[in-house]
Structure 1
Amino acid sequence: MTPNEYIKENKLEWQPSFNGSISSSLNAYRGALIVEEGKKLSETKVMPPKAQAKQVIMISENDKVKFFACELETFNHFEQFFEKYKNFFDKESIIILYVIDLDGNGIFEYEGIKFNAIMLYENSVWNEVLDFVSLEKNDLKKLSNEDKLITIYDQLTNLEKENINKTYEEMKNLIGNTKKSLMGAV
């Protein structure tokens, strides 16, 4: 089962903007993913999720995620997130968690999988990922949604592998009280 099939079959997508094939061998997902379901009020009415991986950018091949980036409101949601989606990650997966309540960045390993955890204040995951892969918005301006994701995926092959620099426990100790700044009209 592909990650996209798992997401759809288990009703884990939340406000998806893209869920499909981007090439003959790659699939992608953009949107939010449910980490903890909302309260079920009736057969047809469910409250919004209690916890989500927001602004997800996921690129997968067959049953494994090649690239995954998202926003987590709190690092406290990490274990719940990992339990729900861990079967699709492996040692080759590039995973970036942009976390609002972290007071520092780190690269850590959890159950044999490497994660980059980075503080997120005001920016979007999309903009952060473009910085991560050294692309400018203008590089993608006239491309289709599929081609934008393929371009990001192609850039990942140029990245140097970074070494683990924190333990999971050290990352948990970086949880602070930071809240996301809301931007809007002044």
Structure 2
Amino acid sequence: MTATDIIAFEDTAFGELDAAHRLRNAVLKEALPKPGTFGFRGDIALAFQDQVADEARPPAYSIEQVLAVADAASGKIPLLAGYLHDFTWLKDVGEVLEDYLSPEGTYVFFVNNIDFLKKYRVPLSGSLMAYVLPLDESTVWKEVLELVGIEKNDIKKLGAAEKLEYVMDAVAKFEATYPELSYEDGLSVMEPVRNRNENRPV
């Protein structure tokens, strides 16, 4: 890759989200091997706490463990996977990210309070659809690898950016005919939010 192939972070949808203080806890935030694309791993804040004076407070809640790719040419985020602690936050995802997501994109959310045996397709807003799956005592990274059939050995020799691109390229090809569930119907069938620290070593 030449220097001219490397896009600026600010030239992508991530740049706008970062300027709005929504990108948090980044563990990867850099150009990917494919020219014109940028990768992000971290959290995306969905709602903020009220601030007192200049006191810095953490977000009220976020999409956590995000794996995402931004395309500079389109200004969109065509690929995103992440963890939501509560199904109700899907509404915030649709509102906060609506301008950055694409109907042709692939969006996967692992949600704390859905039945462990259920998987759905849920409209985010307009023609935007998301896959919604359960998550129990695992990580988004591990679940995504399993979802798209990638073994750890397939990517162990790759760098961080190369790993993300390899995995998200597989996510782009992922398709599943899960039952479609409206957000309103989802609210009625969701289970109580589970304590994420329950049954874990102290």
Letter in 1 for 2:171: L
Residue in 1 that maps onto 2:58: 48
Q: Return the match for 2:101 from 66, 83, 89.
A: 89
Is it true that 1:121 corresponds to 2:131 in the alignment? no
Residue in 2 that maps onto 1:160: 175
The 5-angstrom pairing of residues 54-65 of structure 1 reads 54-62=64-72, 63-65=75-77
Of 160-169 and 97-106, deviating more is 160-169
Could you list the per-position Cα deviations for residues 112-168 of structure 1 after superposition, in whole angstroms to 9, with x for gaps in the alignment? 111101111211000011112110122121211110011113323543353653233
Is it true that 1:107 corresponds to 2:133 in the alignment? no
Tell me the percent identity.
20
CA RMSD of aligned residues (A): 1.9
Any unmatched runs of 5+ in structure 2? 1-10
Query: Are 1:30 and 1:58, in contact at CA under 8 Å, matched by a contact in 2?
Result: yes
Residue in 2 that maps onto 1:27: 38
Of 132-141 and 50-59, deviating more is 132-141
Any unmatched runs of 5+ in structure 1? none
Gap change, CA 1:11 and 1:118, over 3 Å in 2: same
So what's the TM-score if we normalise by structure 2? Answer: 0.83
Q: How many residues align?
A: 185
Distance 1:76 1:163 in 2: 19
